[in-house]
Amino acid sequence: AQSVTQLDSQVPVFEEAPVELRCNYSSSVSVYLFWYVQYPNQGLQLLLKYLSGSTLVKGINGFEAEFNKSQTSFHLRKPSVHISDTAEYFCAVNDRGSTLGRLYFGRGTQLTVWP
Amino acid sequence: DAGVTQSPTHLIKTRGQQVTLRCSPKSGHDTVSWYQQALGQGPQFIFQYYEEEERQRGNFPDRFSGHQFPNYSSELNVNALLLGDSALYLCASSLYRGSYEQYFGPGTRLTVT
C-alpha cells in the first residue's frame, strides 16, 4: 500500500507571494501522481497530474509541480498566489500495480492567502 | 456534458440506521469509485465498481456495500450506522482502461447522531 505525506497541514502566505506545498510518497515503484484542490463544501477538482515524460508538469490556475523520483516527492508550486487560491490541497498517488485505479491521498494542506 | 453527480447533498441519520447514497458518473465513464473523507482528513478509498462488480476494496467493514447498475451509476450502502461514519462521501468516475484519472462529484455529507 502507498503512503502519502503532506508535510505541512497549514500554509499561510500573503497575496502575490510564491508558495510551495510539499508531498512525499512511500513507494519507489512506478506511480501516477496528482494534486487536487477542494474549496469549502465542494468535491475535489484536479489541478494537475504526472503520468510520464517531463518531470515538470503544469496545471490549471498557474500551478505547477515537479516529480522527483529519487526523493519520491511531488511538490506543488505557484509563483504568485491570489486570495482565490485559498483552499485545501490534496496530493494523491495511484499505484500502477495491482491497485491501479485506487487513489491514496495525503491528509491535505490548507493554503490560506492573506491580503 | 454533465460531470459526476451525487445525491442527496446532505443526510442526517441515527445510529443503527441504514443509508443509501447515489452517484451518476461523468458521461462516457464506466468505473465508479467511492471515498470517505472524515473531517480534517484526506479521502480514504472504500471500493471501486466496474462492469457491475466490485473490483477493489479498501479497509472498510462489510457494513459498507455497493452496487453498480447497467447504466454505470452506483450506490453506496452503509448498514448499522456508527457515529464514526459521519463524513463526506465522494464518488469518482473514470475509464477502467485509463483509470488513472478520476473525476469527483460534490459529495454527500452524512451526519450520524
How are strands ordered across the β-sheet holding B64-68? B5-7, B19-24, B74-78, B64-68
Q: How much is the pLDDT for B1? A: 63
Q: Label residue A2 by pLDDT band (50, 70, 90).
A: confident
Distance CA B76, CA B34 (A): 8
> Residue A67 CA to chain centroid, in angstroms?
10
pLDDT exceeds cutoff 90 at B96: no
Query: Average pLDDT of A87-106?
Result: 85
A104 contacts on B by Cβ (under 8 Å): 45
Task: With beta carbons less than 8 A apart as the criterion, state whether B92 and B32 touch.
Answer: yes
* pLDDT one-digit tens code per residue, A4-47: 999 999 999 999 999 999 999 987 677 889 999 999 888 899 99
Given an 8 Å threshold on Cβ–Cβ distance, is B43 in contact with A105? Answer: yes
- Residue from the list B33, B41, B55 with its beta carbon closest to the beta carbon of A107: B41
Q: How confident is the model at residue B41 (pLDDT cuts 50, 70, 90)?
A: very high
